[in-house]
Amino acid sequence: MFVVDDDPSVQKGLVRLLVSAGYQVRGFLSAQTFLAEYRPVAPACLILDLQMPEVTGLDLLETLRVTDSALRVIFVSGRGDVPATAKAMKLGAVDFLTKPVDEAVLLDAVASASRLSTELWIVREEHARLSERHNRLTPREREVCALVARGLLNKQIASDLGASEKTIKVHRARVMTKLGVGSVAELVRFVDRLNVTSPRPPEA
């Protein structure tokens, strides 16, 4: 759990609240110091001030978006700002709260953000594991893998790729071994999971 707010009293107050709720928390007084120390090694939530000198909360969120971080962000602001709220939500913020923040509302938002971060982290970890296995395939084996997953027979794959059926059988056996699957059904599930867990490009 992280808190970034350039007001020391606000930052310390938020940190104390979260610690009292059982969270492990680190506080920062600027976006720059946070970025210098943050490492995405586990699911996490960030409570982020909107208005800060030099690097604003929105600037920081845009940076995190570029890195495709699983960190989920809750904004806090001293005033209602409809354009900023809209931009924050478009960039993926979980919530946008106004100061002084109601403690119960904040803790509910934190619980939701933490859950979302954990879910996203699990999906990306699975994709990394699947990708590592898929990357063991040669370019031709990837072609064979894709065609087998589509339900094509060896004879059809051989025709599509301009190869002998015997060669396709060899490629197919290597694909199964490298992916660690024992049947076509498992291979299809592997490919489906790889596609489902693939990180989506951010919206424009």
Residue 188, C-beta contacts closer than 8 angstroms, at least 6 positions apart: 149
d(CA 129, CA 36): 28
Q: Is the pLDDT reported for residue 202 higher than 50?
A: no
Q: Can you tell me the distance from the alpha carbon of 55 to that of 60, in angstroms, rounded to the nearest whole number?
A: 7
Question: For the segment 119-141, what is each residue's pLDDT rounded down to a tens digit?
Answer: 999 988 898 899 999 999 999 99
pLDDT tens-digit readout, 82-108: 788 888 888 889 999 988 889 999 999
Query: Which domains, from first to last, does the chain contain?
Result: 2-128 (3.40.50.2300), 136-197 (1.10.10.10)
Quote the pTM value: 0.74
Beta strands in 83-158 (DSSP E): 95-98
Rounded distance between C-alpha atoms, residue 92 and residue 111, angstroms: 16
Band (68; pLDDT cuts 50, 70, 90): low
Give the pLDDT band (50/70/90) at residue 203.
very low
Share of the chain above pLDDT 70, in %: 95
For residue 182, the model assigns a pLDDT of: 92
**Mean of the per-residue pLDDT values for the chain?**
90
Query: Does residue 77 come out as left (phi exceeding 0), alpha (psi in the -120 to 50 range) or beta?
Result: beta
CA 159 to each of CA 66, 147, 155, 174: distance values in angstroms, whole numbers, following the listed order: 42, 11, 6, 19
CB contact set of 55 (below 8 Å; sequence gap of 6+): 30, 31, 32, 35
Task: Let me know: does 134 contact 179? Beta carbons within 8 Å.
Answer: yes
